Chain A
Amino acid sequence: MTGIDVARPTAPPLARWTVAPIWSEGLAAALVWIGAGALTLAWPDLTPWARTGLWALFQFALAAPLLALSLAGASWTLTGRLKPAGRWLIALPLALSAWQVLTAKTGILPLPFFPPPQSILEVYTDDAGRLVESVVHSLALLLPGYFAGALFGFAIGVAVGWSKTASYWGHPILRFVGPLPATAWLPVAFFFFPGARSASTFLIGLSTLFPVAVLTASGVGSVLSGYYDIARTLGASRSFLIRKVAVPAALPHVFVGLFMGLGASFAVLIVAEMMGVKAGLGWYLQWAQGWAAYANLYGALIIMALLFSGLIALLFAVRDRVLAWQKGMVRW
């Protein structure tokens, strides 16, 4: 480097000896988690549950890193990430304790409809294999259908948004058939397709296709005419106008369609698994309900919520990257 090397301001040596500030909410959260664990152990269950000890241990185990972070590392980046969640980290053990007291300790909320937290933990320890298998099956059914539907929907949307002929024929169909929920096609699809799996994949694709196509078409149709004018004066071909002007300008709409399609595909996935495909989280729910295994039911619902919100978070992360050029983007 040729520039003058400016000395960086260094912290005065005294700073080393000053006490790092404590993250007080984190400390409070750690203490409440410890309290929740102690409550679990100290108050005997009405009828003993197999995983009460493990549940207490789990709560202590959560307290430990919180304690370490709040005392030692107010300046760590991890602490910084967790800080906004401070009040949630306090409220969560309180809510779990209330649940525990109302179920396992006092029985105010009756079994079998209200299983205590330790029984859900038991589901995860004792039925992990089947749950993992169900998640794998659900993803294997969902993703191919979703991607195929998104791809076809995007292509149809671009065509309908761009071409007058495609719009003339395609738009009424989208308008007329689109509002039908894909699950309504279930009986027809199970009849026409060789197996429940292929029928379900088709329906998941269909449920994704419509919102993606409609939103893509409206996105392409609402591109500022000035964007086209500029490209046209600069000698752009039709293919350039579509690929480099219409599509990027429509992308914010496309992502709304992808988001709506993802939600619709979840609904179809679960219904399809309950109705025909003998695997996956939907089928697990069905099975648990049949045996009145409510702990399994809630356990599977929690996993489903984590999985689906995780997929949506993933989609939004992709969107934030792709649409980083947008100003004042709406966060989900």
Chain B
Amino acid sequence: MTALEQTLDVPSASSAHGLSVQVRRVSHAFATKTGQLPVLDDVSFTIEAGEFVALLGPSGCGKSTLLRLLSGLDAPREGKIGADGVRITGPDPSRLLVFQDPTLYPWRSVRQNLAVGLETRGVLKAQKGRVDEILRLVGLEAFADALPHELSGGMAQRAALGRVLVNDPRLLLLDEPLGKLDALTRMTLQEELLKIWQARRFTSVLVTHDVEEALLLAQRILVFSDRPARIIRELAVPLDYPRRRDDPAFVALRQEILSGLAPH
């Protein structure tokens, strides 16, 4: 055990494919024209390796900011963030973020967009079939050679998801990745996501506005307050997969969350 691991208080069992995540007393703020804008306020939580956690919270509270910190793109103002007990100091292909906005490279075809990670790591030739495999998984094999401007909003989001999955991440950070999809595609992709997660056992952190989506997918739900975000509730979802929306336990949990979110 490293010294950092001790200070971050890592839970046991980190042998799985997934990374465990330690967030310790993290606060964050942005400098704006009108002064400091506090966004995260003393947030602490732990995610076990291979766990699926959903983050629920009002718009603008700081969920995307938190995911950027977990990906290592930004460093928190205060507090520590670790993966498998090692402090996160920068981005790494083992921790990948599916951005809220797909942001595909418009000059690359869908296939080339999915291949970016293989290219940067110099394994494109060795893992040629990988891109096709993921194209099929996200249902874009017919659009492999299309350019991003030829895709619908939902297809672009699926491509962005595929671009990350190609790299077989150990921590998957999802920022409302299904937000722009119609109800039917959304359900299919939720099932797919669940299957991929069950097969690969990476750690998953899903930001969503949709209480049902959180209940369908996550083993645990963290509910955040308005900005600056604090954790106001933590809720285990002790239901077996695949979950059913009409299951009385599911309905009860949804009711419980919604009543907690309602303005008093």
Interface locus among A118-126, A211-219, A228-236: A228-236
The distance from the CB of A191 to the nearest CB of chain B, in whole angstroms, is: 45
* Pair B117/A325 contact, Cβ less than 8 Å: no
Closest A residue to B116 by beta carbon equals: A234
Q: Give chain B residues whose Cβ lies under 8 Å from the Cβ of A236.
A: 116, 120
Interface locus among B55-63, B102-110, B196-204, B232-240: B102-110
The distance from the CB of B68 to the nearest CB of chain A, in whole angstroms, is: 8
Closest B residue to A233 by beta carbon equals: B91
- Which residues in chain B, 66-121, are within 8 Å of chain A measured between CB atoms? 71-73, 91-93, 95-97, 99, 101, 103, 105-108, 116-117, 119-121
* Pair B120/A248 contact, Cβ less than 8 Å: no
Closest A residue to B72 by beta carbon equals: A233
B120 interface neighbour in A224, A234, A249, A325, Cβ under 8 Å: A234
The distance from the CB of B105 to the nearest CB of chain A, in whole angstroms, is: 7
CA distance A325 to B167 in the complex (A): 25
- Contact (A226, B96) CB under 8 Å given A236-B120, A248-B107: no
- Contact (A248, B105) CB under 8 Å given A231-B120, A235-B120, A237-B120: yes
- Contact (A224, B92) CB under 8 Å given A233-B97, A327-B149: no
Decide yes or no whether A77 CB sits under 8 A from chain B: no
The distance from the CB of B174 to the nearest CB of chain A, in whole angstroms, is: 13
Q: Give chain B residues whose Cβ lies under 8 Å from the Cβ of A226.
A: 99, 101, 103
Chain B residue total in the interface (Cβ 8 A): 26
Q: Give chain B residues whose Cβ lies under 8 Å from the Cβ of A230.
A: 99, 103, 116, 163
* Pair B103/A224 contact, Cβ less than 8 Å: yes
Decide yes or no whether B257 CB sits under 8 A from chain A: no
Q: Give chain B residues whose Cβ lies under 8 Å from the Cβ of A224.
A: 103
* Pair A233/B147 contact, Cβ less than 8 Å: no
B147 interface neighbour in A237, A240, A325, Cβ under 8 Å: A325
Q: Give chain A residues whose Cβ lies under 8 Å from the Cβ of B120.
A: 231, 234-237, 240
Decide yes or no whether A143 CB sits under 8 A from chain B: no
The distance from the CB of A260 to the nearest CB of chain B, in whole angstroms, is: 22
The distance from the CB of B166 to the nearest CB of chain A, in whole angstroms, is: 9
Decide yes or no whether A326 CB sits under 8 A from chain B: yes
Q: How many A-B residue pairs have CB under 8 A?
A: 63
Q: Give chain A residues whose Cβ lies under 8 Å from the Cβ of B105.
A: 227, 245, 248-249
- Which residues in chain B, 148-186, are within 8 Å of chain A measured between CB atoms? 148-149, 163, 167
Q: Give chain B residues whose Cβ lies under 8 Å from the Cβ of A326.
A: 106, 149
CA distance A139 to B97 in the complex (A): 52
- Which residues in chain A, 201-257, are within 8 Å of chain B measured between CB atoms? 224, 226-227, 229-237, 240, 244-245, 248-249, 251
Chain A residue total in the interface (Cβ 8 A): 21
CA distance A230 to B113 in the complex (A): 11
CA distance A233 to B94 in the complex (A): 9
The distance from the CB of B145 to the nearest CB of chain A, in whole angstroms, is: 12
CA distance A227 to B101 in the complex (A): 11
- Contact (A325, B103) CB under 8 Å given A233-B73, A234-B116, A235-B93: no
- Contact (A234, B103) CB under 8 Å given A229-B73, A325-B147, A327-B149: no
Q: Give chain B residues whose Cβ lies under 8 Å from the Cβ of A235.
A: 91-93, 117, 120-121
Q: Give chain A residues whose Cβ lies under 8 Å from the Cβ of B72.
A: 233
CA distance A284 to B109 in the complex (A): 50
A233 interface neighbour in B93, B106, B108, Cβ under 8 Å: B93
CA distance A236 to B105 in the complex (A): 14
The distance from the CB of A238 to the nearest CB of chain B, in whole angstroms, is: 11
B95 interface neighbour in A227, A233, A237, A325, Cβ under 8 Å: A233
B103 interface neighbour in A227, A237, A248, Cβ under 8 Å: A227
* Pair A232/B116 contact, Cβ less than 8 Å: no
- Contact (A232, B91) CB under 8 Å given A224-B103, A227-B105, A240-B120: yes
* Pair B167/A234 contact, Cβ less than 8 Å: yes
CA distance A323 to B106 in the complex (A): 10
Q: Give chain B residues whose Cβ lies under 8 Å from the Cβ of A240.
A: 119-120
CA distance A126 to B93 in the complex (A): 71
- Contact (A229, B99) CB under 8 Å given A235-B117, A240-B120, A248-B107: yes
Q: Give chain B residues whose Cβ lies under 8 Å from the Cβ of A234.
A: 93, 96, 116-117, 120-121, 163, 167
Residue in A227, A234, A327 with the greatest tally of chain B CB atoms within 10 Å: A234
Residue in A226, A232, A235, A236 with the greatest tally of chain B CB atoms within 10 Å: A235
* Pair A232/B106 contact, Cβ less than 8 Å: no
CA distance A234 to B116 in the complex (A): 7
Q: Give chain A residues whose Cβ lies under 8 Å from the Cβ of B93.
A: 233-235
Q: Give chain B residues whose Cβ lies under 8 Å from the Cβ of A229.
A: 73, 91, 99, 103
Q: Give chain B residues whose Cβ lies under 8 Å from the Cβ of A327.
A: 106, 149
A-B contact pairs, 9 of them (CB 8 A): A230-B103, A230-B116, A233-B92, A234-B96, A234-B121, A236-B120, A237-B120, A327-B106, A327-B149
7 A-B pairs closest in CB distance? A327-B149, A234-B117, A226-B103, A235-B93, A236-B120, A233-B91, A325-B107
Chain A positions near chain B (C-beta within 8 angstroms):
224, 226-227, 229-237, 240, 244-245, 248-249, 251, 325-327
Q: A224-B103, A237-B120, A249-B105 are in contact. List 4 more A-B contacts (CB 8 A).
A: A232-B73, A235-B92, A249-B107, A326-B106
